[in-house]
Structure 1
Amino acid sequence: MHRRITVPAALGAASVMLAIPASAASPSTGAPGIGDPYYPAYGNGGYDVSHYDLRLKYQPATDRLEGTATILARTTQDLTRFNLDFLLDVGEVRVNGAKASFATSGEHELEITPKSPLRKGTPVTVVVRYSGVPSSEQAYGFTSWHRTPDGGVAANEPEAAWWWFPSNDHPLDKATYDVSVQVPDGTQAISNGTLQSTVSRLGWTRWNWRSDKPQATYLATLAVGRFDLTTGTTEGGIPVVNAYSKDLGARDGAARASVERTGEVADWLTGYFGPYPYNALGGYVPNTDTGYALETQTRPFYSPRQFANGSNVSVVVHELAHQWYGDLVSVRGWKDIWINEGFARYAQWLWSEHEGEGTAQELADYTYASHPADDPFWTVRPGDPGPENQFDIAVYDRGALALQALRNEIGDEAFFTLLKGWPQKYAHGNASVADFRRYAEEVTGRPLDALFDTWLYQPSKPAAPAARAAALATASDAPAQPKSWKKIAATNDVHEH
């Protein structure tokens, strides 16, 4: 659950003006957008990244970041020029060892012209040397870099990479990562994956992290500050590293009481979603004033505000569910956000059932009855909500309603077969809402067009007959509020930015 929920009108307009469809780019120029209609200028065309090696130096006192990014890629067309998404100041670019010319354009485009044209299907090594103060940079009127009293944090959706490394910033282009960060002694640098080593010399400590499974760019994270690290192991043998700012104050206990259950929750989720897909696990709580949480791969980001009213394991359930639904299987396009959020919300409903605080059916009944027919909640279509509603509460709650309707339609055995089979079918790849519908029809052997259309695409409240067919209570039934409702609702402010 996350981030920048209200997409400024200027963002949509600016994106459209800046974007050039792939078909409009010359045959030898990589398109400045990957082709996502929600964010036309995000990502780039002409190449596919396989690995990012990021070697960074960060000074918390000044928020100055210096970096060398080595990007391994393969061209998907002949290229005389290509783009990266980036905001900081670039000092030098090399392509296959030779200096390349570069320029900036639009809000976040770095245009690179290699010394020699690149042939389609060839491996490419791009080295970018850069520096800057991330907190001083904005694009489209916002920032995804969060300055803290003792450092900074990069975490946002659908974009965060621009503020700390150059990239092909769209979930369609996943890659593996090595992130090495030099910080002053006494300061910690937290990132994704496994901690390979820490090396101290002359007042600086270098933290070396590795993510060896494909990872979307928005799921890469960096947090620098003074943290207390805890370690453990899940029952399944996955190492857990959690990190808590040393300046959380009164929220420290509630944060730890929630995030320290990460291993337990991950083990529980394997019963529904299959084996945990990575070799590292954890979470971190920096001292930020943001309100959202984010499923940064293997190590979710949590705002201290999530624990302002006490512990809340439900938000941990949500972000860990994303490790399968959103991280392992990522959206094909940002319109497919239901694949992430509807399922993560439903995991919270299943946890409620597990804790004896209300069944998924009771939560579905209450959700349905809580929104009258004229509530704008029903005008948002979870299957294609539009960029302005991408993280609207309806994508989460109406999205979970759709899953309960599907469960009631096909029965528990088929439903839970779907939940476990889907992450395996598209593991480390991308998929769409349409792909999920087709997969559900394959598994069940029955047409599901009407059900998906009713619950995901119609901009109106499903009528009482449809709700009764899905075993959902009508508004007149006035079901009792499940005990877990307030805990789940307390995570709703993560939609605000």
Structure 2
Amino acid sequence: MTPLRRQADRRRTTVLRREAVLATVPVAVAALLAAAGPAAAGTTGSSGVGDPYFPLQGNGGYHVRHYGLTLRYDTASRHLDGTAVLSARATQKLTRFDLDLKGLKVTRLTVDGTTADFRRDGQELVVTPRRALHEGQDFCVEVTYHGTPKPVTDPDGSPDGWIPTDDGAFVAGEPQGAMTWFPANSHPKEKSSYDFRITVPQGRTAVANGVLLGQRTAHGQTTYRWRQTAPMAAYLATATIGKFKVERYTTRDGIQVYNAVDPREANAAAPVLKKLPSVLEWESRLFGPYPYRAAGSIVDRAPDVGFALETQTRPVYDSAPDLSTLVHENAHQWFGDSVSLTTWKDIWLNEGFATYAEWLYQEQHGGDSAQKTFDKLYATRASDDLWAYPPGNPGSGANIFGTPVYARGAMALHELRKAVGDQAFFRILRAWAAEHRGGHGTTAQFVQLSERESGKQLDGLFRTWLYTQGKPGTA
């Protein structure tokens, strides 16, 4: 995410610095998901996976392999009709399990085609199937729902989820907004494949993740079909809707690009979006092969949003992005999307890496060196917000998109680079992206990998730059 709502911090950091086709989730990921989170006693799936910052996010007892989402959105009334088909596998015996869903009315719910009991408990949709599910059993949940989706307000006060615009909706779900528009097992450690069928009034475009399979217009409505086969966390899903100018092409590396741009942002966005293929090529040289078949951008006009987000394969921007933001959000396709978090506490693994990608891009394209960006940041006073809390332990969900996570997280990577040298450093980045591709990672795993690849003991460096309170070297 690029937190444009924090413009002062952002500038300082930048300038200074049932059509379901089941996709196979990597075995290592499936094993992690099977063990994820504390399960409630007996045969009840837990109402959360135990994340310290968002304790009700995600659910225990099962893994969703695939989501089939059929949506119809009326942009005039802002009414959403939805059917979600979840293809899942029980990781324990289940007499009851939860889904994350907030604010929409459920009218029908079945498990394996049989009507199931359900009740609402805040953001939890509590499901009791007619028959208990056995450990290892594949099962299908179908939920029919409708209503006027509304964003949630995150701990830092920003909107999140399905955010209405003057011509549609800006859909960006980090960290908890997926539950505002579809029922999900919604935590980054839970990744699935997706099919989207989105119907909107003729003249509107609906843009989701992955590859566009087709579109059809009839009776004043247009239906768009999208497919994302690569594992994806729910918060990275989008179904952004609006009046868009669409550009499609294939890069020389075979990546299918789909750009959707609000005409009011087109002139400002065009010079930046033109650089997308070269940015992806440059990032691929540094980080390893691009993780997906598709790429692109969704440039909306959403003045009440205040951020951009690395929605998988196709970042969404609330206005025309600058080049640094384009670099940042696409670096997330490796760091955050392909290699995902296991807990929100490790958010620096997403944002510190994407911010350092900005520094590297500047360094290699005629701008300030990464060292100069680092030095300018380090020169700030010890009372500056940059040193307010350590990036490896932000302390709460209210801090996960703050300056320390982005800028000091990037500074930690620069210190690593200086300690191990460029050859080992870039080998570490590529190994991290390759070894955890399509899966998850933790800070502890990154430290171990860095020590393995460099042959150096680095615990002191990471302790100082990720976990020490205040400005390093000023105690």
TM-score, normalisation: structure 2: 0.89
The aligned counterpart of 1:92 is 108
The aligned counterpart of 1:144 is 161
Distance 1:270 1:139, change over 3 A: closer
Length, aligned pairs only:
441
Q: Which moved further from structure 2: 411-420 or 146-155?
A: 146-155
Say yes or no: does 1:364 pair with 2:374: yes
Say yes or no: does 1:374 pair with 2:387: no
Letter in 1 for 2:169: G
Distance 1:185 1:412 in 2: 52
Counting only pairs closer than 5 Å after superposition, residues 46-445 of structure 1 correspond to structure 2 as: 46-87=61-102, 88-106=104-122, 108-135=123-150, 143-246=160-263, 248=264, 251-289=265-303, 290-304=305-319, 307=321, 312-369=322-379, 371-387=380-396, 388-445=398-455
Aligned identity (percent) is: 44
Confirm or deny: 8 A CA contact 2:385 2:404 kept in the other structure.
Answer: no
Confirm or deny: 8 A CA contact 1:25 1:31 kept in the other structure.
Answer: yes
TM-score, normalisation: structure 1: 0.85
Equivalent residue in structure 1 for 2:45, among 27, 30, 34 = 30
Distance 1:22 1:262 in 2: 38
Confirm or deny: 8 A CA contact 1:90 1:129 kept in the other structure.
Answer: yes
Deviations 1:211-261 (A, max 9, x none): 010001000001111111011222312111100113x2xx43122221232
The aligned counterpart of 2:24 is none
The unaligned stretches of length 5 or more in structure 1 are: 7-20, 467-497
The unaligned stretches of length 5 or more in structure 2 are: 7-35
Confirm or deny: 8 A CA contact 1:63 1:135 kept in the other structure.
Answer: no
Distance 1:263 1:22, change over 3 A: closer
Letter in 1 for 2:149: P
Letter in 1 for 2:119: A
Distance 2:146 2:167 in 1: 19
The aligned counterpart of 2:12 is none
Deviations 1:96-129 (A, max 9, x none): 11000110002x1100100001111110100000
Confirm or deny: 8 A CA contact 1:263 1:281 kept in the other structure.
Answer: no
Confirm or deny: 8 A CA contact 1:4 1:157 kept in the other structure.
Answer: no
Could you tell me how far 1:337 is from its partner in structure 2? 0.5
Letter in 2 for 1:117: A
Confirm or deny: 8 A CA contact 1:3 1:157 kept in the other structure.
Answer: no
Deviations 1:148-184 (A, max 9, x none): 1111121131022112110000011100000011112
Q: Give the superposed CA RMSD.
A: 2.0
Distance 1:102 1:237, change over 3 A: same
SS in 2 for 1:293: coil
Confirm or deny: 8 A CA contact 2:394 2:405 kept in the other structure.
Answer: yes
Could you tell me how far 1:144 is from its partner in structure 2? 2.3
Distance 1:268 1:203, change over 3 A: same
Distance 2:150 2:74 in 1: 13
Letter in 2 for 1:96: D
SS in 1 for 2:150: helix
Letter in 2 for 1:152: A
Distance 1:137 1:62, change over 3 A: farther
Could you tell me how far 1:49 is from its partner in structure 2? 0.8
